[in-house]
């Protein structure tokens, strides 16, 4: 009924009262506000993602929901805004963009130490790695690919004012706002000096292309891993809207495109990308299909690619900062913080390599 599921390797922990859930208070809150919810409630942390936490909630009758809350412990300023996710998914319910149904929102931090919300649990397949896509045929991969592109174009071109999201953010200078935001997040965390991040920030800021398409809804982290595929291999739900804003659709697409890894590449956004399976088309084909279907000019894609790798480095550096401060967030909670710092350095170095001749 509610939440998030995966076909393939298990991604949930079995802890009935995992960290991040004040069981007694959350139990009472859910039973009081969700019709038909019956005790006892069972909570499972879905061990995926490096930021907000998602729990599968199951009641005595077998009804299921997904509960979303910020990571436990340190959080960077402006990050992990539960009300933003809630508002965006609630607004998109009236559109062709598939999202979970929002069920109940809690702004009272005395209940669980932070705001949280419940949404429907959408059953299906999440493509996290090659193992999760290894049984797919070329035809099924083609359907999933086409749906992934079509859904992104749908939210890139949605009528923002018509669905009540016209005031979600400023509409102009998306890249400038993103450059400022992520540099600020890194510098406020004050983990270590990072001169290459500053240098690339200055070069990216000086070389910003003119925006050639109308501002749209930018998910901020759209990829197979943040969607659920239905039995027909089309997108049944788009998840994880915490980074969503109004922005440049081409920049948002360029970000998503970096998750589409090709064989033989030395570094990727994901450790084991599902698109490495030979049933999937290559990244250049995805870009061509997006351009044709959207009608957008992708001539500035090299710039936005450099920007994407710089931004990813900053995001991973934020995860590094939170882990050093003791925060836990899904699957990254068991990773040595030093490894995360090495990862952010590698991402930044790759951004610098890509920047040669571009900015």
Q: Which two tokens stand for residue 253?
A: 């697409």
Residue partners of 209: CB distance under 8 A and separation at least 6:
300, 303, 304
> What ranges do the domains of the chain cover?
3-122, 131-355
The answer as to CATH 3.30.200.20 being correct for domain 3-122 is yes
Element (H, E) at 45: strand 42-46
Convert the pLDDT of each residue in 250-301 to its tens digit: 999 999 999 999 999 999 999 999 999 999 999 999 999 999 999 999 999 9
Confidence band for 9, pLDDT divided at 50, 70 and 90: very low
pTM over 0.85? The answer is yes
Query: Cα separations (Å) of 189 from 186, 304, 318?
Result: 5, 25, 7
Angstrom CA distances, 235 to 45, 277, 286, stand at 23, 19, 16
Q: What is the pLDDT of residues 42-92, one digit of tens each?
A: 999 985 455 789 999 999 999 999 999 988 864 544 456 899 999 999 999
Contact (CB, 8 A) for 223 and 258: no
**Residue 265 tokens, joined:** 């590449």
CB-based contact 316:339 (threshold 8 Å)? no
The SS3 call for residue 245 is strand
Considering the domain delimited by 131-355, tell me its CATH architecture.
Alpha-Beta Complex (3.90)
Distance CA 161, CA 215 (A): 12
Give the model's confidence band at 2: pLDDT under 50 very low, under 70 low, under 90 confident, else very high. very low
Tell me: the pLDDT tens digits for 193-221?
Answer: 999 999 999 999 999 999 999 999 999 99
pLDDT (tens digit, 9 = 90+) per residue, 252-262?
999 999 999 99
Residue 306's nearest CA partner among 243, 257, 341 is 257
Mean pLDDT, residues 135-161:
98
At which residue do the structure tokens 């994880």 appear?
A: 240
Residue 26 phi/psi, 5° resolution? Answer: -70, -40
Interatomic CA distance for residues 230 and 327, integer angstroms: 33
Same CATH topology for 3-122 and 131-355?
no
| Lowest mean per-residue pLDDT among 2-6, 181-185, 314-318 | 2-6
- Annotate 132-172 with DSSP letters as a single string: GGTT--HHHHHHHHHHHHHHHHHHHSS-TTTTT-TTSS--S
| Among the ranges given (16-20, 177-181, 253-257), the one the predictor scored with the smallest mean pLDDT | 16-20
CB 64, CB 2: distance < 8 Å: yes
Distance, CA of 269 to CA of 297 (rounded, Å): 24
């Amino acid at each position: 009924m509610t939440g998030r599921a995966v076909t393939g390797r298990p991604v949930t922990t079995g802890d009935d009262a995992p960290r991040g859930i004040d069981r007694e208070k959350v139990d009472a809150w859910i039973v009081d506000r969700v019709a038909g919810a019956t005790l006892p409630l069972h909570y499972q942390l879905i061990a995926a993602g490096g930021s907000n936490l998602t729990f599968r909630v199951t009641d005595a009758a077998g009804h299921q929901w997904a509960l979303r809350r910020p990571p436990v412990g340190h959080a960077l300023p402006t990050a992990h805004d539960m009300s933003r996710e809630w508002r965006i998914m609630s607004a998109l319910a009236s559109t062709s963009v598939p999202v979970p149904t929002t069920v109940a929102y809690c702004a009272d931090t005395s209940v669980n130490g932070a705001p949280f919300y419940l949404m429907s649990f959408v059953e299906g397949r999440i493509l996290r790695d090659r193992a999760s896509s290894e049984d797919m045929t070329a035809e099924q991969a083609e359907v999933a690919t086409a749906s992934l592109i079509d859904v992104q174009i749908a939210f890139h071109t949605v009528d923002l004012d018509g669905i009540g999201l016209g005031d979600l953010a400023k509409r102009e200078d998306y890249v400038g706002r993103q450059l400022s935001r992520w540099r600020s997040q890194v510098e406020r965390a004050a983990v270590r000096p990072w001169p290459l991040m500053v240098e690339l920030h200055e070069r990216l800021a000086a070389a910003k292309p003119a925006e050639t398409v109308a501002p749209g809804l930018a998910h901020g982290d759209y990829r197979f891993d943040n969607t659920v595929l239905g039995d027909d291999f089309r997108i049944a739900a788009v998840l994880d809207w915490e980074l969503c804003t109004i922005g440049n659709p081409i920049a948002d697409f360029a970000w998503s495109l970096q998750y589409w890894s090709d064989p033989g590449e030395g570094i990727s956004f994901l450790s084991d990308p599902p698109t490495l399976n030979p049933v999937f088309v290559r990244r250049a084909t995805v870009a061509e299909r997006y351009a044709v279907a959207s009608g957008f000019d992708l001539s500035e894609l090299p710039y936005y690619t450099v920007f994407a790798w710089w931004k990813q480095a900053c995001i991973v550096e934020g995860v590094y900062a939170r882990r050093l401060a003791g925060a836990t967030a899904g699957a990254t909670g068991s990773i040595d913080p030093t490894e995360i710092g090495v990862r952010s350095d590698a991402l930044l170095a790759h951004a610098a390599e890509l920047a040669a001749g571009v900015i």
